[in-house]
Structure 1
Amino acid sequence: MKFGFFCPHEQHAPSTLLDHAELAENVGFDSVWTSDHFHPWWHSGAHCGAAWPWLGTALERTDKVEFATGVTPPIARYHPGLLTQWTATLNAMHPGRFRVTFATGEAMNEEPLGYEWPDYPERRARLVDACRIYDRLVTGEFASYDGHYWSLDDARLYTVPEERPPLYVAGNGVHTAEVAGRYADGFLTLADVETYENELVPALEAGAADAGRDPDEISRTKQLTVSYDEEYAAAVESAEFWSGTVAVDFDDAVSDPREIERQGRALDGDDWTDEWGVVTDDFADVERVVDEHENAGFDEIEFLSSSPSQATFAEKAAERLF
């Protein structure tokens, strides 16, 4: 089992996240993941730095820890050809240390920039275009592609790494899991174990079978949301920043962080803490959830920690899990 540490641009300033990335490497995490949003999931006290310039700096500031986006939606603001170029460049400079994760995204990334927020079938079709474009360009050969939404016209990447950078696809439903099975080197999900085992794994395997791929070669990662502190009330208070992710569904056309925060604050505390993740004053609760996901067949746990002290959480994880 590998363990990742999430650096959320929504909750911390970019310079602070660089310190967190160094902390994660120093205590022994295998990977550092980072969000890629235009707007955050909260308004009060929020940040929202740009992921891609931060990644270049973070890779230089560290020595061996792997990095990944969690997630990058190729829906409107990003052409997938550019995402492939950025991924190839980072891996050419830091071989084997970066993977990009495509997904169907949220309205907060598109609407504030004047783009439409299409419904899920349209976003899924654009995701498929993006995966196909990635596969063509990452080879370093000339490629053309006449897609549903995204296209290429005799395009070539002139800087590519020696080995293919892994492409991950993130999703919580069967249709995106099927796309991951067809195209991805790895699959990231927030889904609970029951949904993962009963719905997502069969879809992932079906997609792989249709594409003539071995599903066992697709790495499986779970993003586990955690807020840990020896004082339970402090853990709850720190995690409230993310209550908007419970109030607003990823498919909802809500892009204003003020509205997301309003809906999050309107939730009953017990309701959102039960649904959001592990909010605890006992690290054994974290260990039990990790064991549950390892038994379900996940290869990696990526922790989005909203703990009052990231250093305390990271050091406790290293002590109890690694």
Structure 2
Amino acid sequence: MDRTGAAPIGLALWGTEPVRTMADYAQLAEQVGFESIWLVDTQLICPELYVMLAACAMATERLKLASGVTVPVTRHESVTASGLATLQELSGGRALAGISTGHSALRDIGEQPARIADLAEYVARVRQLLAGESTVFGSGSEGALTWLPEPASVPFHIAASGPRLTRAAAGMADGVILLQGAAPDLVDDAIDLVRQGAADAGRLESDVERTVWVYVGLHDDQERAYDQVRARVSAVLRMLDPGRLEGDDRAVAEAVRREYDMFAHADSMPKHAALVPERLLDRYAIAGTPAQVTARISALANDDRIDRVVVSPQIGAPGQSITRNFIAAFGEHVLPNVEKC
């Protein structure tokens, strides 16, 4: 995708707070200059995704509104298509569909992630429904969104943390969300996978948007900034195949897999987070002072291979949310300086 200037920057939030609070966050995010807001879809940890996105739509005018991300197993194709089409109508065309095979939403209810082939079929069916067409569901039954007055064009972005899904996503989606770290070599590897996947599918590389999703800790005190991302990096390591790492890093990933408490997935400082050393925090997240964060975010946003950067802050302990302060501080100290670097 061709563009001039820095890539737009979106904001990913855990929707664990009251709906009106989340709508206020969306309004503030729009005011300070974020391009989009991405809300987590994990039903035992967060309130209902589409209710929250609708509230955010009503509170904003320009902000794009995305599932960040939803999964096939917990939502039938007809449910997802109806939710996205309704959001697209309500928001005046600002909806984005973030989707993947699943993690916490499924682990918490004893289910396994969807297979890549099933995800591809699911995306195809949802797209047919959004186009105003009928589709044949896995049950063999056929149906359509009979209420839909006209086709709803909603871009699909598939989140991927591993090589197989990254390559496959480049062949089936409008964009790929790269959940694979923040270090330059990790980003390079992820973008190469997108390139390979697009080529395998007979698509142009420019046909696939590349969104780099990074966990961000922002504080004048480096240690406190690290603490803001430690839980999120532990989640990355939980999803990562330890075989992709070596030595001490592999041992850390294996330990995180053993000790990870999925019901503490959204906690700010779960016990398993203490297993993550600083060297991995710097590879899989961006944490530091405003100047340090600005430099690393700018390097991503000004990389011509990257079409969007989504920053994901930690929510803070129960009753001690840092979200509002993060949005305000990022909007004051980072966003205005990204284009200048």
TM-score, normalized by the shorter chain, greater than 0.5: yes
Q: 1:303 to 1:139 in 2, by over 3 A?
A: same
Task: Map 1:33-72 onto structure 2 (within 5 A).
Answer: 33-40=38-45, 48-72=46-70
- Paired with 2:226 and 2:187, the residues of 1 have a C-alpha distance of 27
- Paired with 1:94 and 1:100, the residues of 2 have a C-alpha distance of 13
Query: Conserved in 1, the CA contact under 8 Å of 2:67 and 2:98?
Result: yes
Counterpart pick for 1:109 among 81, 105, 128: 105
- Paired with 1:208 and 1:54, the residues of 2 have a C-alpha distance of 33
Tell me what 2:172 maps to. Answer: 183
Could you tell me which amino acid in structure 1 is paired with residue 272 of structure 2?
A: Q
Q: CA deviation at 1:221?
A: 0.7
Q: CA deviation at 1:97?
A: 0.3
Query: Conserved in 1, the CA contact under 8 Å of 2:78 and 2:129?
Result: yes
Q: For residues 91-120 of structure 1, give each alpha carbon's deviation from its aligned partner in whole angstroms, at most 9, with x where no partner exists.
A: 1222320111111111x312433x5325xx
Matched, 1:232 2:232: no
Q: CA deviation at 1:211?
A: 4.1
Query: Conserved in 2, the CA contact under 8 Å of 1:248 and 1:263?
Result: no
Unaligned 5+ segments in structure 2 are: 1-6, 242-256, 316-321
Could you tell me which amino acid in structure 2 is paired with residue 110 of structure 1?
A: L
Tell me what 1:32 maps to. Answer: 37
Q: CA deviation at 1:7?
A: 1.9
Matched, 1:21 2:26: yes
> What is the alpha-carbon root mean square deviation over aligned residues?
2.8
The normalised TM-score by structure 1 is 0.82
Matched, 1:320 2:337: yes
Query: Conserved in 2, the CA contact under 8 Å of 1:142 and 1:154?
Result: yes
Unaligned 5+ segments in structure 1 are: 41-47
Q: 1:30 to 1:151 in 2, by over 3 A?
A: farther
Query: Conserved in 1, the CA contact under 8 Å of 2:218 and 2:293?
Result: no
- Paired with 2:123 and 2:307, the residues of 1 have a C-alpha distance of 22
- Paired with 1:278 and 1:245, the residues of 2 have a C-alpha distance of 15
User: Percentage identity across aligned positions?
Assistant: 22
Matched, 1:194 2:185: yes
Q: Secondary structure at the match of 1:110?
A: helix
Matched, 1:144 2:150: no
Q: CA deviation at 1:85?
A: 1.7
Q: CA deviation at 1:303?
A: 1.0
The normalised TM-score by structure 2 is 0.78
Using the TM superposition, name which of 54-63 and 124-133 deviates more.
124-133
Could you tell me which amino acid in structure 1 is paired with residue 161 of structure 2?
A: N
Q: Secondary structure at the match of 1:248?
A: helix
Q: 1:173 to 1:156 in 2, by over 3 A?
A: same
Q: For residues 272-294 of structure 1, give each alpha carbon's deviation from its aligned partner in whole angstroms, at most 9, with x where no partner exists.
A: 53344111124244323431453
Q: 1:160 to 1:85 in 2, by over 3 A?
A: farther
- Paired with 2:14 and 2:338, the residues of 1 have a C-alpha distance of 22
Tell me what 1:43 maps to. Answer: none
Q: CA deviation at 1:88?
A: 1.3
Q: 1:90 to 1:292 in 2, by over 3 A?
A: closer
Matched residue pairs, number? 302
Q: Secondary structure at the match of 1:295?
A: coil
Using the TM superposition, name which of 297-306 and 184-193 deviates more.
184-193
- Paired with 2:261 and 2:231, the residues of 1 have a C-alpha distance of 16
Could you tell me which amino acid in structure 2 is paired with residue 303 of structure 1?
A: V
Q: 1:64 to 1:263 in 2, by over 3 A?
A: same
Query: Conserved in 2, the CA contact under 8 Å of 1:305 and 1:313?
Result: no
Q: CA deviation at 1:269?
A: 5.0
Tell me what 2:251 maps to. Answer: none
Query: Conserved in 2, the CA contact under 8 Å of 1:247 and 1:263?
Result: no
Matched, 1:264 2:297: no
Query: Conserved in 2, the CA contact under 8 Å of 1:219 and 1:299?
Result: yes
Q: CA deviation at 1:258?
A: 4.5
Task: Map 1:83-232 onto structure 2 (within 5 A).
Answer: 83-106=80-103, 108-113=104-109, 115-117=110-112, 123-145=115-137, 150-151=138-139, 153-158=141-146, 159=148, 162-192=151-181, 193-198=184-189, 200-232=190-222
Could you tell me which amino acid in structure 1 is paired with residue 329 of structure 2?
A: T
